[in-house]
Amino acid sequence: MKLTDYIYRAFSYISFRLTSVNTLGYGIHSPYLFHIVRDLFYDENAYYCFADIEKQRQKLLRCHKPIYVQDLGTGKSENRLISHIARTALASPKEAQLLFRLVNFIHPNTILELGTSLGITTSYLAAAAPTANIITIEGSENIASQARQTLKNTHAGNVQLLQGNIDQLLPQALTDLKKIDFAFIDANHTYQATINYFSSISPLCGKHSVVVLDDIHYSKSMHKAWQEIQSMKSVTSTIDLWHMGIVFFNPQFPKKHYKTRI
């Protein structure tokens, strides 16, 4: 990450704090979106699977084994400790559990995840929708190997993990799924890759579909991609949570973009 991106994120976060609200959903005009914010975002109950999945996270955080990582997005390759990957690349428990609640609420039949990492978030998605057809794609062979072990340990039997270049694997994954009820995009954090991913996924999304993009304020280019996605004709409402953005396609929702602190 460049120094300019760190500076951008700092100023962007200050702006977000000044322009976002933390009012348990009040001010959101759609009853459906109001329910999501009030009853899902601020839910602090621990569901049955949380403890088991977090045990796997702790194992990864304690594993100081080095693995060779190929980042197909940046083109860089290096040896990295599994513990470092777990500490820096995984969604936090709060973020992953929010995704669990969202998926558990919308009951998707198909789920697509771009960027499996070590499989923790994937495990939450699988636990939230145990009968869904889930495809997740990870670029690095060794990270994918670790993710498969995580998915085995969390008994995520409804997940198909594809390893390789997302640009090459995504078209077939979309063909296999036929439609996208829920997607989580947490892969190559660049403007063009994010736009390409969303543009490929959105035609398969129906009015009840939800797409979540991670790190929408990661850099100026990622925020540009987020703003462009918000302006797309197929997109109605969006919710900016700072660390991630949630996209809705229901034409009955107002064309409105919310910023909410949780």
The 10s digit of each residue's pLDDT in 77-87 is 789 999 999 99
Averaged pLDDT for residues 188-203? 97
Asked, for residue 57, whether it belongs to a domain, the answer is no
| 197 and 187 Cβ atoms separated by less than 8 Å | yes
Residue found under tokens 């820096």? 88
Domain count, the chain: 1
CB 144 within 8 A of CB 161: yes
**DSSP code, position 260:** B
pLDDT the model gives residue 43? 84
Mean of pLDDT values over 154-181: 97
Could you give the CA distance from residue 246 to residue 46 in angstroms, rounded to a whole number?
A: 22
Domain contains 250: yes
For 102-129, what is each residue's pLDDT tens digit? 999 999 999 999 999 999 999 999 999 9
Please report the pLDDT score of residue 22 as a whole number.
67
- Work out the burial of residue 47: count CB atoms within 10 Å of its CB; fewer than 13 is exposed, 13-18 middle, 19 or more buried: middle
Question: Hey, what are 166's tokens?
Answer: 């997302």
Task: Give domain status of residue 19, yes or no.
Answer: yes
Longest dimension (CA), the chain: 50
Q: Percent of the chain scored above 90 by pLDDT?
A: 76
Give yes or no for residue 173 having a pLDDT over 70: yes
pLDDT greater than 80 at residue 30: no
Percent of the chain with pLDDT over 70: 95
Residue 53 scores a pLDDT above 70:
yes
Domain membership of residue 30 (yes or no) is yes
Confidence class of residue 163 from pLDDT cuts 50, 70 and 90?
very high
pLDDT score of 75 more than 90: no
- Domain range for 157 is 3-47+89-259
pLDDT value at 24 more than 70: no
Is the pLDDT higher at 2 or at 95?
95
pLDDT at position 219 over 80:
yes
The answer to the question of residue 210 being in a domain is yes
Quick check: is 217 in a domain? Answer: yes
Exposure string (b/e) for 15-32, b if CB count within 10 Å is 16 or more?
ebeeebeeeebeebebee
Instruction: Specify burial of residue 229 (Cβ count, 10 A radius: 0-12, 13-18, 19+).
Output: buried
Residue 76 belongs to a domain: no
pLDDT for res 40: 86
Q: Is residue 70 part of a domain?
A: no
CATH number, position 227 = 3.40.50.150
